[in-house]
């Protein structure tokens, strides 16, 4: 009997990514919708799965994995679906990695998550309007790169919807929630991707609580 994929974590942009990837790949998986900062990640059971006590996390038999990009890449490489583009050529894989690292590093970690620390989580990390404003300005500058690319592309890869689009879309939803106005090409991209059935299903699952 095939081992069931188990996904841990729900309620954030980062937990949405592996849930969405699993839905695109039409994988049968079991979700444990624990949240961040609820104490659920600090239980002995979860700490064995991810000693960092962070979500999302994946279990596949005896194999444990954390970090949303690593989890999505693992699912992408071990399952296939006509619904999602999976690069095979080394150059195409490298370009996808380039975009995913840019989106995760510059839009998520350096901008949106730092904003979250001093915006939503200011009771923990402290309020800092200067930091939040600097992050907003930095995010807008980096978004220009994406806007220019989408001027002549419907998706990040010219070959179709893929992993980088999942990462971009989750950051765009996050940005909209923080009051950013999306430029024209990005807004059209966002509107198109929002129509995907797997995205709509994953959103309901991830944010059900």
Task: Judge whether residue 2 has pLDDT over 80.
Answer: no
Going by pLDDT thresholds of 50, 70 and 90, the confidence category of residue 143 is: very high
Q: What is the CATH number of the domain that holds 38?
A: 3.40.30.10
| Residue 125 and residue 186 in one domain | yes
Q: Are 8 and 58 in contact (CB under 8 A)?
A: yes
Q: Does residue 209 fall inside a structural domain? A: no
Task: Select from 64, 136, 80, 70 the least CA-distant residue to 100.
Answer: 70
Range of the domain at 132: 90-199
Residue ending a domain, among 53, 84, 115, is 84
Q: Give CA–CA dist 57/32, Å, rounded.
A: 10
Question: Per 3-state DSSP, what percentage of the chain is helix, strand, and coil (rounded to 5)?
Answer: 55, 10, 35
Q: Write the secondary structure of 30-50 as one string of H (helix), E (strand) and C (coil).
A: EEECCCCCCCHHHCHHHHHHC
**What 3-state DSSP class applies to 201?**
helix
Residue 144 lies in a domain: yes
User: In angstroms, rounded to a whole number, what is the distance separating the alpha carbons of residues 61 and 54?
Assistant: 19
**13-25 tens-digit pLDDT:** 999 999 999 999 9
For residue 157, what is the domain's CATH number?
A: 1.20.1050.10
pTM: 0.95
Q: Are residues 130 and 182 in the same domain?
A: yes
């Amino acid at each position: 009997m095939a081992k069931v994929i188990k996904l841990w974590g729900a309620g954030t942009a980062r937990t949405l990514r592996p849930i969405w990837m699993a839905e695109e790949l039409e994988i049968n998986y079991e979700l444990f919708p624990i949240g961040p900062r609820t104490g659920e990640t600090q239980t002995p059971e979860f700490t064995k799965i991810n000693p960092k006590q962070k979500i999302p996390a994946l279990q596949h038999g005896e194999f444990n994995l954390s970090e949303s990009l690593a989890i999505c890449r693992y699912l992408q490489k071990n399952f296939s679906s006509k619904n999602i583009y999976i690069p095979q050529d080394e150059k195409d894989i490298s370009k996808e990695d380039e975009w995913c690292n840019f989106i995760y590093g510059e839009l998520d970690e350096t901008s949106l998550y730092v904003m979250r620390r001093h915006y939503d989580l200011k009771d923990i990390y402290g309020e800092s309007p200067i930091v939040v404003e600097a992050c907003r300005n930095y995010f807008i500058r980096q978004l220009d790169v994406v806007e220019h690319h989408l001027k002549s592309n419907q998706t990040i890869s010219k070959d179709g919807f893929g992993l980088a689009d999942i990462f971009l879309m989750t950051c765009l939803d996050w940005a909209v929630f923080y009051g950013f106005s999306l430029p024209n090409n990005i807004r059209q991209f966002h509107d198109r991707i929002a129509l995907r059935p797997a995205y709509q299903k994953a959103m309901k699952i991830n944010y059900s609580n």
